[in-house]
Amino acid sequence: MKSTKIFGIVLAGGEGKRLMPLTEDRAKPAVPFGGHYRLIDFALSNLTNSGLGQIVVLTQYKSHSLDRHVSQTWHVSGLLNAYIASVPAQQRLGKRWFSGSADAILQSLNLIHDEKPDIVVVVGADHVYRMDFSQMIDAHVASGAPATVAAIRQPIGLADQFGVIEVDPKAPDRISRFLDQPKHTTGLADSPDEILASMGNYVFDADALIEAVRADGERTDSNHDMGGDIIPYFVNRGEAGVYDLKRNEVPGSTDRDRYYWRDVGTIDSFFEAHQDLISALPVFNLYNQEWPIFSRQLNSPPAKFVRDAKGRLGTMIDSIVSLGCVISGGHIERSVLGPWASIESGSTVVDSIIFDRVHLKPGAVVQRTILDKDVVVEAGAAVGVDRERDLARGFSVTDSGITVVAKGVTVRP
């Protein structure tokens, strides 16, 4: 009996303007997260844990860092015809770049033709979550629908922040309408205060996906977007199914983190997702060994907390500290430190995210701030304490008061 062949596509070409300046020098999926991870690690971990062995990552915007991470981290033996490959825009249909996520697939149809899969799984590269796609694939096949959209339940008051899926109560697994950030919508029949929000993850019959992106490519009134154009194409034909994440059982998950999903496309959501990691009972648990999040294994020494020359001990409360970090008489609280961060005597880091190789000199203060790689905070300097001063120094500050310092900047007193 012929087995079903599955092919995975990760859409990783987005520019990520809302995450500036973190995306000033890198693609959004390459942004560090949770210490030593990159955002794309969550999508790839979910696909590989789900048993997919042939996966391509479609890249475009400032992709060097992302391409390098995929090649160094996600090397899979080709002996069993398994691979994870980064594929840049190839301009196969003319001298132009991808004009949207659907156009990215249209311009990469050679990848599907080469593998001849029965089913194609298409996922975004910048969400934090766990999901067993094998269960969604089984539901897709059983439904008979050529397209299936993964959905997560969200409060109805947040409907205007998502692509909202409405279903026919008589056919709750079929999408009746797909609405983009609607002001008004109807709650679910079994939970009137909730809606189904698209997760940006899809399962398609391969031939149906090929037909859809080709038809979309001929339209002049399309944005060539998977969520905005391809899914409505299937909905209008009555051929789109929905898969409620509530049906998904990930091994090792707990009641607290079972249905966690967060779009980290803004600085505020990126910051809040880190706060979800560091509580005593984390909302998203990185320590689930039955469904691990894979990333590059750094050849680095353990983190170290030591006394400074005055005998003050380096301390850490409710925080994540990565390999290679040295905290010498400094204090870390409710924060996440990336690899090789150095926190010197009398320095304080509170409610902050520190990327790789950041150096805080004696007496530095960092509060409610994101410091990109190789930032140096000089002795006695403070960041995240005075909003107006941070703005005057050219730092980005969100409306909620999160300061972001770009890669390689020196913060002076």
- Copy the structure tokens of residue 223: 């944005």
Query: C-alpha distances in angstroms, 133 versus 47, 139, 167?
Result: 7, 10, 21
Q: Residue 70: what are its φ and ψ, rounded to 5°?
A: -65, -45
User: Can the peptide bond before residue 21 be classed as cis, meaning omega within 30 degrees of 0?
Assistant: yes
Q: What is the 3-state secondary structure (H, E, C) of 263-285?
A: ECCCHHHHHHHHHHHHCCCCCCC
**DSSP letter assigned to residue 255:** T
d(C-alpha 209, C-alpha 203), whole Å: 9
Q: In this structure, how many other beta carbons lie within 10 angstroms of the beta carbon of residue 368? A: 21
d(C-alpha 322, C-alpha 93), whole Å: 44
3-state secondary structure of 350: strand
3-state secondary structure of 243: strand
Q: Is 329 annotated as a binding residue?
A: no
**DSSP letter assigned to residue 344:** -
d(C-alpha 38, C-alpha 97), whole Å: 24
> Does residue 153 contact residue 176 with C-beta atoms inside 8 Å?
no
d(C-alpha 341, C-alpha 318), whole Å: 17
Q: Is 330 annotated as a binding residue?
A: no
Which residues belong to the annotated binding site? 163, 198
Which residues belong to the annotated binding site for alpha-D-glucose 1-phosphate? 163, 198
